[in-house]
């Protein structure tokens, strides 16, 4: 009988110990894996991956099928649940779950301003980061699957960018899957980053309009803050240069179910009276810097546009270039008139690498990635058209982060994929909806709904 309260023996000679521990209703086990940096060179340099195995406490000694969770991002580690939060409780009714920190994230070998200089200069860092896209993540999954399941296929749950990885999985290694579940993450199979952002800015504008319709008092508040930032050089306590453009980027929260309320509560306490006059409050600055800083997830900024690279066209700071096609997002022009300030969304801009102290040392590396022209294809349309893996996807109507039209076109291109199109949730529906979203999608993969 396995002692879940003690360190487990390594499953492979020389592998690190895995440690098990308990939370309410669950048993968790820390797992570590060594994988090649470049899967095309399996004998070359290696990196470490971390994953947390989770099983229901009353099923800890039972054999169960596996579900691997691929987090959104790119650049975020897997959720750190306490007990059976969000969708996890539903999954644990029938699965043993592996919460994978994708390469470079969480507790896996890190890639950030502190560690990337170990690679060398910006050119070496950029070359290194080309191995942190969906294709490498899927090959990691296939390598560790053999160790985790003994070779048996597993179910994958991909949220947002994790869904992009899941579509790559269906293209590259469908034999590793019993089923695939995607939430808010059906990518275009062939769109360039420019196409993605041309579709995104009108959606962002609609989300901002909806926010102001709910909280009309925020129109004047947002204009006042932006006007203050245009007139003053503001540096947040962590060293972040807080510009009007940076303030606009706080609109990224509008893509979540509670995002509009969160933004409203942020704006309502922006200013305070001081002996020197009116200033941005400490409380506002603290919350703003926590939302703006990429210190905890720098890969998001570094490779965000690279996840769309599939041909010889550079991404070339696509969001920045495309934004210029939508002059209504220009804060100075807006404040010269009397219209509402538009926030922005899930877009990465070169100025972020000047403003954010966590990104400043990586500016040249980011420039080299933006100029790169040798991206390999991520999806195989022919193989997806012949797909035999049961697949279901939640497509959130007018999702701020992933274009609905792109998602539905991909859904039609994947044989047998079933969609659940809903406006009940925003992009974070798999979290906000508790067990309901996963339960419905699993039912769709089994022709039970």
Q: What is the pLDDT of residues 379-434, one digit of tens each?
A: 999 999 999 999 999 999 999 999 999 999 999 999 999 999 999 999 999 999 98
Looking at the structure, tell me whether residues 11 and 130 fall in a common domain.
yes
Last residue of a domain, one of 331, 347, 371: 371
| Spacing of C-alpha 76 from chain mean position | 6
Total count of domains within the chain:
2
Q: How many CB atoms lie within 10 A of CB 160?
A: 26
Q: Does 25 reside within a domain?
A: yes
Question: pTM here?
Answer: 0.94
| Cβ contact 132:74 at 8 Å | yes
Query: Which tokens hold the place of 213?
Result: 């319709």
Q: How far apart are CA 332 and CA 326, in angstroms?
A: 13
Rounded mean pLDDT, 32-37: 98
The residues carrying an active-site annotation are 160, 374, 427
Residue 77 confidence (pLDDT) above 60? yes
In a domain, 2, yes or no: no
Q: Is 1 within the bounds of a domain? A: no
In this structure, the answer to whether residues 175 and 221 fall within a common structural domain is no
Domain boundary among 322, 353, 371: 371
Q: How far apart are CA 59 and CA 94, in angstroms?
A: 9
Q: Is the dihedral of CA 140, 141, 146, 150 positive or negative?
A: positive
Q: Is residue 21 part of a domain?
A: yes
Question: Are 178 and 315 in the same domain?
Answer: no
**Together in a domain, 159 and 222:** no
Kindly state whether residue 53 falls inside one of the protein's structural domains: yes
Residue 214 to residue 263: CA distance in whole angstroms: 12
pLDDT single digits (tens) 6-30: 334 334 333 445 789 999 999 999 9
Question: Same structural domain for residues 396 and 357?
Answer: no
Best CA proximity match to 77, nearest among 101, 103, 98: 101
302 and 357 share one domain: yes
**Residue 281, in any domain of the structure:** yes
Predicted local distance difference test score (pLDDT) of residue 17: 52
Q: Beta strand 154-159 with 66-70: parallel, antiparallel or unpaired?
A: parallel
State the helix-helix crossing angle for 217-231 and 193-214, rounded to 10 degrees. Answer: 120
Q: Which structural domain, as residue segments, surrounds residue 300?
A: 193-371
Domain membership flag for residue 91: yes
For the segment 58-79, the average pLDDT, to the nearest whole number, is 95
For the residues 66-85, what does the mean pLDDT come to? 95
Query: Interior CA angle at 153 toward 151 and 155, to 5°?
Result: 145
Average pLDDT, rounded, for the chain: 95
CA-only gyration radius of the chain, Å:
22
Query: Final residue of a domain: which of 348, 371, 394?
Result: 371
- CATH, residue 427: 3.40.50.1820
Residue 265 sits at the vertex; the CA angle it makes with 232 and 200, to the nearest 5 degrees, is 75
Is 54 part of a structural domain of the chain? Answer: yes
Task: Answer yes or no: is pLDDT of 5 > 60.
Answer: no
pLDDT band at 180 (very low <50, low <70, confident <90, very high): very high
Residues 324, 386, single domain; the answer is no
Q: Clarify whether residues 202 and 260 are in a common domain.
A: yes
């Amino acid at each position: 009988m396995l002692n879940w309260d003690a360190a487990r023996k390594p499953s492979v000679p020389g592998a690190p110990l895995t440690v098990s521990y308990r939370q309410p209703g669950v048993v968790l086990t820390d797992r570590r894996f060594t994988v090649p940096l470049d899967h095309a060179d399996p004998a070359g340099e290696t990196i470490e991956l971390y994953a947390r195995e989770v099983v229901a406490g009353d099923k800890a000694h039972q054999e169960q099928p596996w579900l691997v969770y691929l987090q959104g991002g790119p650049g975020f580690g897997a959720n750190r649940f306490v007990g059976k939060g969000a969708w996890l409780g539903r999954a644990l009714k029938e699965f043993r779950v592996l919460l994978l920190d994708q390469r470079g994230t969480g507790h896996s070998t890190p890639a950030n301003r502190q560690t990337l200089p170990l690679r060398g200069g910006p050119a070496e860092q950029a070359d290194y980061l080309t191995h942190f896209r969906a294709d490498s993540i899927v090959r990691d999954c296939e390598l560790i699957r053999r160790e985790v399941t003994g070779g048996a296929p597993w179910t994958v749950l991909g949220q947002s960018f994790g869904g992009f990885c899941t579509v790559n999985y269906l293209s590259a290694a469908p034999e590793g899957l019993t089923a695939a579940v995607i939430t808010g993450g059906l990518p275009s199979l062939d769109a360039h980053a420019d196409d993605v952002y041309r579709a995104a800015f009108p959606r962002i504008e609609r989300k901002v309009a909806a926010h102001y319709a709910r909280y009309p008092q925020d129109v004047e508040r947002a204009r006042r803050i932006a006007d203050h930032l245009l007139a003053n050089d503001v540096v947040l306590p962590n060293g972040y240069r807080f510009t009007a453009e940076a303030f606009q980027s706080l609109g990224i929260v509008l893509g979540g179910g509670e995002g509009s309320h969160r933004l409203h509560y942020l704006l309502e306490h922006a200013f305070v009276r001081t002996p020197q006059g009116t200033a941005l409050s400490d409380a506002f600055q603290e919350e703003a810097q926590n939302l703006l800083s990429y210190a905890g997830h720098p890969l998001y900024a570094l490779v965000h546009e690279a996840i769309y690279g599939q041909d010889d066209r550079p991404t070339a700071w696509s969001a920045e270039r495309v934004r210029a096609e939508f002059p209504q997002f220009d804060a100075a022009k807006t404040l010269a008139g009397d219209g509402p300030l538009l926030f922005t969304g899930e877009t990465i801009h070169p100025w972020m690498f000047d403003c954010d102290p966590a990104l400043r040392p990586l500016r040249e590396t980011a420039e080299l990635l933006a100029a790169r022209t040798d991206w390999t294809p991520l999806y195989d349309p022919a193989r997806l058209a012949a797909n035999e893996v049961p697949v279901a996807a939640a497509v959130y109507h007018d999702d701020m982060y992933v274009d609905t039209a792109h998602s539905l076109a991909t859904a039609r291109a994947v044989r047998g994929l079933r969609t659940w199109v809903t406006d009940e949730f925003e992009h974070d529906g798999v979290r906000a909806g508790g067990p309901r979203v996963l339960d419905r999608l699993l039912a769709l993969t089994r022709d039970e709904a």
